[in-house]
Amino acid sequence: MDLANTTYDIVIIGGGPAGTTAAMYTARSGLKTIVIDKGLTTGALGITGKIANYPGVTELSGAELLATMREQAKSFGAVFISDRIIGVDLGTELKSAFGNNGVYSGKALIIATGSMGRGKQIKGESEYLGRGVSYCATCDAAFFKDQEVLVAGSSDEAVEEALFLTNFASKVYFLNPTETINAPDFLISDLSEKGNVVIYPETKLKEIRGNGKVEGAVFARKGEDEAELRIDGAFIYLQGGKPITDFLQGQLEVSESGCLIVDQEFQTAIPNVYAIGDVLCRHIKQVVIAAGEGAVAAMSAEKAIRGRRKAIVDWAK
C-alpha cells in the first residue's frame, strides 16, 4: 500500500507526545489516521534524557516514553511514516500536506510540529540553497554521486539521511553539534561502521562557502580553532527553539511570537484544522499537557467529521 497519495480521515503532522496522543484517540475511534514525522529524536521529548514526572511512569528516557506511546497508537491502527512536510493546502474540503515522498490528504488536519525550528540560518545557507545546500538526502543524494558532502545534525533524522547518502557520496562528514548523537544505538552503530563516514563530535557548522555552488564549509570543534572542509554538498538537520510553521506558507495566523492561534477545542481559524503542543505559546511545556491537548483536539476532530454537536467522552470502548 502506498501510504502517501492516499486519503485519510485524519492527517497529523508531527509525532511527538501531542501528535501521538491525538493519533491514539482518533485511531481508537475508528478514524483512518496517519502521522507524518521526521524521526523519533527530532522533537523535544525525543532528546530528553530522563522523564520522571509523567503520570504512571517512574523513570525512563524521553525517546523510550515516546516509542511506547507510538506503539500504543499503532495498536489502535494509526500509521506512522517518516517524511518532511514542505507545504500544505488548507483551502479545500480535503486538507493536504505535501511531503518529499508524496501527498497526504484528510478530512481533518492536526498540526503538532513543535518548537524546535531554527530562527537563524548558517552563513551561506540560504545563498547556496539548491546549489549544494539541501534539507532532503532522499531527494538530492543522487546529485552527489562520488562527491564529498557533510551532514550537520544530531537527531535520528540526520543519521538516517547520512546513511542514505553513503550509498552515493564518496565521503560523508557527519558534524554533530552535541556531545552525543541523539539517535537509537543501532543507527549510531550503522553510521560508525560505514567506511566512507567521518564523525566529528561536538562540532558546529559555522559557514558554507562556494562560488556559484557549494565548495567548502567552515566548522569548529569544541576547544579547537575553526577549520575548513572541501565539500560539494551540505545537508542540514539542525534544531532550534522556534515554532515550526514555515510549511504553512502563511495560510494560518500566527501570534507575535510566531505561534499558531486556536480556540478552546484547539481548532484554528480554518475548520477541521487543529494545532496542539509546543507549536502553541499558551502553556507550560510539559509532556502531560501536550498529551492532553492531543486528546482534546482528537475528540474535537472526531466530533466534526462525524457531524456530532458534542464530543464523546472516551472512558472505555
Catalytic residues: 136, 139-140
In this structure, what DSSP letter does residue 117 have? B
CA distance 12 to 19: 6
Helix axes 287-305, 17-28, angle to 10 degrees: 40
User: What residues are paired with 175 via a beta bridge?
Assistant: 152, 200
H/E run at residue 192 = helix 185-193
* C-alpha to C-alpha distances, 24 to 17, 21, 190, 292, nearest whole angstrom: 10, 5, 31, 12
Contacts of 259 (CB under 8 A, 6+ apart): 115, 243, 245, 279, 280, 281, 282
- Cα–Cα distance measured from residue 132 to residue 215, given in angstroms and rounded to the nearest whole number: 8
At what angle are helices 287-305 and 62-75 packed, to 10 degrees?
Answer: 20
Could you tell me where the beta strands, DSSP code E, fall in the chain? 6-13, 33-37, 79-82, 85-89, 95-99, 102-111, 133-134, 148-153, 171-175, 197-200, 203-210, 214-221, 226-230, 233-237, 273-275
